Amino acid sequence: MALYTPDRSQYPAKKADGTLDIDLASGKYLKLWQGPNHPGITGNMSVELTVCGDEVVEGKTHVGYLHRGFEKLMERRSFIQCFPIVCRICVPEPDFNEYCYAAAVEDLSGIQSPERANWMRALILEMGRINSYLMYLGGQAGALGLGVIGQWTTYARDLMLDRFEEMTGARIYHMFILPGGVRDGLPDGFDQRMEETLREIESTMKDVHDVMFHNAVFKKRTVGQGVIDPAWLDQYGVTGPNARAAGVAKDVRRDQPYLVYRELEFEPVIGHDSDIYTRSDVRRRDLLMSVDLIRQILAKMPRSGPLIADMPSMLHWKIPRGETYVRGECSRGEYGYYLVTDGSGFPRRVNVRGPSYTHAMALLERMIVNINISDVAALMVSLHTYPPEIER
């Protein structure tokens, strides 16, 4: 396996306080801002690059363009009123917010969501994972100039959004997983339409495999590029496909099974080369695994039974004092909610632990050093970060 060996020949010296000694006036270095309005950026964020020639010597991530203060807003909303706003935290894959919030509230209030609701939740989460990966594959290819992949995957994602729409009643923000259960069952004929969609996605993925993963340009630019050293996993809190591509089978679905994952057959997808190509490939295979999981879920899911537990009235629902942490494996890694209650009808503190938070800040700043400017976009996309979840 290719390990990261930095070439420090062009690297500026360090000052006594650990920062780099970069004299912009010398003309040797140039400051370059990538974002927030830039086609090569994963969302509304920016990276401040200091470059020497076309090599990056220092990168600083700047976030906060999407900060809405969710953790503060939730402190002044009752438990049920928090439920519509949590999904806004992560735009392309909102369901994990709903699940983690609902599970945290259930954990503290001692409510058990019914069996059927758990299957519904697992179904939604896997569908959301497929959406997120399709979005990622389009972005990863787009960052290297392969625009056509984005056209195909966005179409496939749109078919999945149609399934979401008929099931939950909304395209992007589904607001479907209530604390205590889910809102509704499956509509009539859903299985068949889902199967058609899955087939379409599989055939799209076959094309993507041919055109993207067997593309000489894509291989040339991604193999051996942007390596995550497995030793960094614990230091930087790397989880999800980024860790799995480095050969560590970190997968919450397997390590601490939640919902119905105990009853499903799957093996975490791992890769070994830890470069951009491997990370893309791990995600592609993980997507296909999700397709398989959805088929398993639809086959095993109970079709009758309660969808929501017996709940106290949501209007004046109070939860005793306590704190908990609930996690799930989203498409980018470990997603978790840390919830503290104080016996009132409002959460005392909610902290959202999104995987993008560590990946896009500390890890990206470490990895961006000594790479070419033109590879910054590809590297950033390959970490699969969503800005709204960094700053919340």
Partner 1 sequence: MRALHIRLQHLFPLGELTEQRPDLGFVTVPAAYLRPTLLHLRDREGYTHLVLLTAVDWLEEDLFQLTYLLSNRSTGCDIGLRVKFPRQAAHMESIHDLWPTAATYQRELREMFGIDFPGSPRLHEEFILEGWNDIPPYRRDFDTLKYARANYNDRPGRETHDPEQHMKQQLYPDGA
Partner 2 sequence: MEQELKPELQIRKVKGPDGVEFEVEPLRDYYCEALPTVQHGAYIQIVEDFFNWARSHSLWILGFGTGCGAIEMRPLMTPRFDAYRYGIQWRPTPRQANLLVISGYLSVKTLKRAIRAYEQMQSPKYVVGLGSCTINGGMYWDSYNTIKRLDDYMPVDLYIVGCMPRPEALLAGFEDLKKLIRAGKAEGANQYAEKFDWYKSNQKRVIHDWDMPDYSW
Partner 3 sequence: MSVRDVLSPFTAWKNLFRDPVSIPDPLNRAAAPRYRGFHQNDVEKCIGCGTCETICQNGAIDMVPVEGIETKSGDSGLRPRIDYGRCCWCALCVDVCMTKSLTMSNAYTWVENDPDLFCFTPGVDKKHWDNAELGYHCPTDRRITGQVRAHMRELEPETRIDSFVEIVQGYSVEEAILEADRCVACGLPCATAITSAAWNCSTPATRFPASAAASAPTSARTPALPATKATRSPSAG
Determine, following the binding rule CB under 8 A, whether residue 263 of this chain makes contact with partner 1: no
**Residues 103-132 interacting with partner 1 (rule: CB under 8 A):** 107
Residue 317 makes contact with partner 3 by CB under 8 A: yes
Interface residues for partner 1 in 141-180 (CB under 8 A)?
none
Name which of partner 2, partner 1, partner 3, none residue 255 binds, using a CB cut-off of 5 to 8 Å depending on partner kind: partner 1
Name the minimum Å distance from CB 385 to partner 1: 13
CA–CA dist 47, 59 (Å, integer): 6
| Residue number with CB closer to partner 1 (108 or 260) | 108
Residues that bind partner 2 (CB under 8 A): 24-25, 31, 36-39, 43-44, 64-69, 72-73, 76, 84-85, 88, 91-92, 135, 138, 150-151, 154-155, 157-158, 161, 171-173, 388
Shortest distance in whole angstroms from residue 356 CB to partner 3: 23
- Tell me the window of 269-277, 281-289, 292-300, 331-339 that interacts with partner 1 (CB under 8 A): 331-339
Our CB check for partner 3 shows the closer of 30 and 80 to be 80
6, 90, 238, 336, 370 from 243: Cα distances, Å: 20, 21, 6, 17, 22
Binding to partner 1 in span 265-294, by CB under 8 A: none
- Answer yes or no whether residue 135 interacts with partner 1 by CB under 8 A: no
**Is the Cβ of residue 38 or residue 214 nearer to partner 3 in the bound state?**
214
Q: 362, 370, 372, 373: which one contacts partner 1 (CB under 8 A)?
A: 362
Between CA 306 and CA 117 the distance in angstroms is 8
Amino acid at 27: G
Site string for partner 1, 223-262 (x = CB under 8 A): -----------xxxx-x----------x----xx------
Q: Is the bond into 347 cis (omega within 30 degrees of 0)?
A: no
**Shorter beta-carbon distance to partner 1: residue 170 or 362:** 362
The distance of closest approach from Cβ of residue 89 to partner 1 in the complex, given in angstroms and rounded to an integer, is 14
What is the residue whose two structure tokens read 């290819």?
A: 141
Shortest distance (Å) from residue 65 CB to partner 2: 4
Indicate the residue among 84 and 320 with the shorter CB distance to partner 2.
Answer: 84
Contact residues for partner 1, defined by CB under 8 A: 18, 63-64, 67, 69, 71-73, 75-76, 107, 234-237, 239, 250, 255-256, 322-325, 327, 334, 336, 338, 340, 348-349, 351, 353, 357-358, 361-363, 366, 391
